[in-house]
Each structure stands twice: as C-alpha cells, then as structure tokens.
Amino acid sequence: MRVTNMIPDVQYAMQQSQQNLSTAELQVSTGLRVNQLSDDPAASANMVSSLASSANVDQYTSNITYLLPQMQTADSAISSIVTSLNSAITLGTSGASSTLLTANKQSIASQVQSVLSNVISLANTSSSGVYVFGGSATSTPPFVAASETYTSAQGSAGTPLTTATALNAGSVTTISDATTGQTMTYKAVAGDTIATLQAAVSSAVSAGTLSAGTTAAINANGQLSISTNSSTAGIVVSSNDAALGSMTAASGSAVANAYAYVGNSSVNTVQVGDSMNVATNLPGNQLLTSGANVIGSLTGLISALQSGTTDEIGSATTAVSAALTYVGQQRVPLDSTINEMNSQESYLSQEKITLTTQQTALVGVNLTTAATNLSQAELDNNAVLAAAAKALPQTLLDYLK
C-alpha cells in the first residue's frame, strides 16, 4: 500500500488522544463519570428518581427538625398540666376533710382557681408563634375567658343596626360556647343580613352547639348583642364582618372560671417518610374539654370547695383524678409520635448516605481509576505527539540535501 500523506492520520490520532485526555481531566476535576446526559443516558435517567428521593429525604428531615421542638413543647405542657392536676387532687383531698373550716375551704378553692389558671395558661402554650393546642387554628390562643355578652363595634343609638342590615359575603362570625365546648361558625353569603345570623344562632341552640338561651339581638344602643343570658355559662364571639365591626365582651359580663375553646378539632398530619405521616397536633378541646373534661372537673372542684358538702368535694376531687387519667391517656400517642420521629430522623440520616452512595455509583467516578486513566491518557498523548514529531518531518528530500 502506498502511503502518501500521514498528516490526516496523525491529526486524527492527536484529536482522539486529546479528547481522551480532556475526558480524563474532566472526570478527575469533577469527580463525575457522567458530566452530560449522553455520557450515560440510562444512569442520567436513573439519577432523576435518585435525586428526587434525596430531595424528599432532605425535606422529611427538615419537617422533623421543625416539628419536633413544637411537639416536645406540647408534651412538656401536658406534663405540667399533669403536675397541676396532681396538685389540684391534693388540694381537693385536703379540702374534703369534714373538720375543715369554711374559710379554709375558700382558701383552697382560691388555690385550685390558680391551678385552673395555670392549666389554661399551659393550654395556650405556643412554640415559634404556633399555639400547639389550637387544632389547626394555630395563630391565636385556643382558650379564652368567656363572657355572658358580646357586643358589636358597629351600631349606635343614632344609627342602629337592624335585622335588615346586610352582612358582607364571605365574612365569618364564630360563637364558642364554654359550656358545650363547641363552636358555631357562620359564613355569610350574598344577601345575608343580621336576621340570617339570628336564625343561624337559633338553629345552633336547637342543635345543641350553643347553650340554651343564647341569643343574638339588637340592643338599646343599636348594637348587635350576642348573649348567653346565664351567669354560669359563657361564650366567646368573634367576627370579621365590617358591617358588625369587632365583637367585644361587654364590661362586667365575664363568667368566672369559664373558658371557651376557640380553636378547632382538626388534626394536621405531615409526611416525614415515603410512607410515614405523623399527627402533629393534639386539639385542646380533645385534651381538656372532652372525655373526663379537665377544665370542667377543676371548675366543679372550685364550686364544691366554695359551697359544697364534703361528699361533693370528694366527688369533685374524684372527677379531677379521672381527668388526670384521661390526660395521661391522651399523652401516650403524642409521646409515641415523638419517639417515632426521633427514630425516623436517624433512619433518614442513614438513607441520605445510602442515596449519596447510589448516586456516586450511578454518575461518579472512582478517583483511583480516574487518576490512573488521566495518567494513561497523558502518556498516550505524549506518545502520539512524539510519534508525530518523529514521523511528519521525514521525507526523502531530507536525505537528498
């Protein structure tokens, strides 16, 4: 075979050699075998799901990091409530003595009132601005001192509200009843008036959501007045309807030892694993006003100490003991969730390592191999250049000079 011109072959060999060198350098500098999709399309496609898993693991870890302190705060608050209830039981037991003077019982009643106030304060515990016992209503304290009557800011003797006063569509008015432990939520639609709201209140009374006797009426000052008409039951009213203005408790209408739950019963769940969701909150009404009713039992003990017989004080103390047991039961799932989240955090940490290893196997390069490849590529390139330097200048003309 005649060999006429070696330049194209030498150029091709140099290009190939330099390409190999460039690839080897890139792999060493990036630590990656796959620097573009075409380097390994299948590995690139598999990276999509692997990266998604990594992002999810990071997010689950972040969720746990955010939620764990909040749940530990809730657990700590419940622990304090348990302590408070034990204190109330001790006070109730001492108050149930038949030899105790009335003045002493009144004193003990005051101490139980302090316990109740402390329990309410614990029930309104917040963590990073989140009220942990408000259900999904986390931005305001869930337990509010109740009053007999709330009146609207709007309306006056000169320009009174009337039953025909239109409400703003979309506005929400809530009435939380301390006695029933329930909340009536009224959302106005187009065409609604105060008369419509009044009808809604009547319906809620009929349904048992609100205590009997709860009414909504225009008072002598031309304001909307929502009232329980009872000295022992109380309500908390709120509204964002501009036609009514803010609802405030009428002066002097506060009901002693009555607290309405203005949170809700919603339990939010958050994903902390591909197949693991955890309940992140314990609604305050479930913890303190349902079942053995912590607040009710403490209120009953106060009443018994103030005016009851020894037997009645004993019974009231027994009720507080039952409430204590109930709170302990409610705490179990919360503690269990905290433990699960701690375990999950450890698992996710390990899973992150596993995924990183998987990704390295998919697109990464063994640095020892990469360094060896680079060394070999440099050697090859030098050899090609040396061969070209040797071969290209040699022609017959050199020997004919």
Write out the binding residues for another protein, residues 169-228 only, by CB under 8 A: 170, 172, 187
Does position 342 bind another protein by CB under 8 A? no
Distance of closest approach, residue 211 Cβ to another protein, in angstroms: 23
48 lies in the site for another protein, by CB under 8 A? yes
* Binding flag, residue 62, another protein (CB under 8 A): yes
Interaction of residue 38 with another protein, rule CB under 8 A: yes
Three-state DSSP class for residue 190 = coil
Q: Which is nearer to another protein, 130 or 371 (CB)?
A: 130
Q: Is position 392 an interface residue for another protein (rule: CB under 8 A)?
A: no
54-62, 151-159, 327-335, 383-391 -> range binding another protein (CB under 8 A): 54-62
Q: Which long-range contacts (CB under 8 A, 24 or more apart) does 15-20 make?
A: 17/377, 17/380, 17/381, 17/384, 17/385, 18/381, 20/377, 20/380, 20/381
Name every residue whose Cβ is closer than 8 Å to that of residue 13 and which is 6 or more positions away in sequence.
384, 387, 388
Any alpha helices (H) in 124-223, and if so which ranges?
A: 194-207
Cβ proximity to another protein, 58 vs 311, nearer residue: 58
> Residue 66: CA atoms inside 13 Å, Cβ hemisphere, count?
12
Site residue total, another protein (CB under 8 A)? 54
Residue 277 binds to another protein (criterion: CB under 8 A): yes
Nearer to another protein, 6 or 371 (CB): 6
Residue among 29, 59, 203, 329 that touches another protein (CB under 8 A)? 59
**What does the block give as tokens for 127?**
């963590």
Do strands 130-131 and 247-249 pair parallel, antiparallel, or not at all (unpaired)?
Answer: unpaired
DSSP conformation class of 309: -
Using rule CB under 8 A, residue 5 touches another protein: yes
State the nearest-atom distance from the C-beta of 337 to another protein, in Å: 14
Contact at 8 Å (CB) between 181 and 175? no
Cβ proximity to another protein, 191 vs 393, nearer residue: 393
* Least distance from another protein to the Cβ atom of residue 19, Å: 9
Q: How many CA atoms lie within 13 A of 367 on its CB side?
A: 3
Q: CA quadruple 151, 152, 154, 155: dihedral positive or negative?
A: negative
**Nearest 5°: phi and psi at 366?**
-70, 120
Question: Binding pattern to another protein, positions 226-265, x when CB under 8 A?
Answer: --------------------------------------x-
Q: Please, what is the minimum distance in Å from the beta carbon of residue 170 to another protein?
A: 7
**Which of 22, 29, 31, 66 lies at the binding interface for another protein (CB under 8 A)?**
66
Helix ranges restricted to H, 229-366: 284, 294-307, 310-363
- In terms of Cβ atoms closer than 10 Å to its own Cβ (0-12, 13-18, 19+), residue 95 is buried
- Contact residues toward another protein (CB under 8 A) are 1-5, 8-9, 12, 36-42, 44-49, 51-52, 55-56, 58-60, 62-63, 66-67, 130, 134-139, 170, 172, 187, 264, 266, 268-271, 277, 280, 395-397, 400
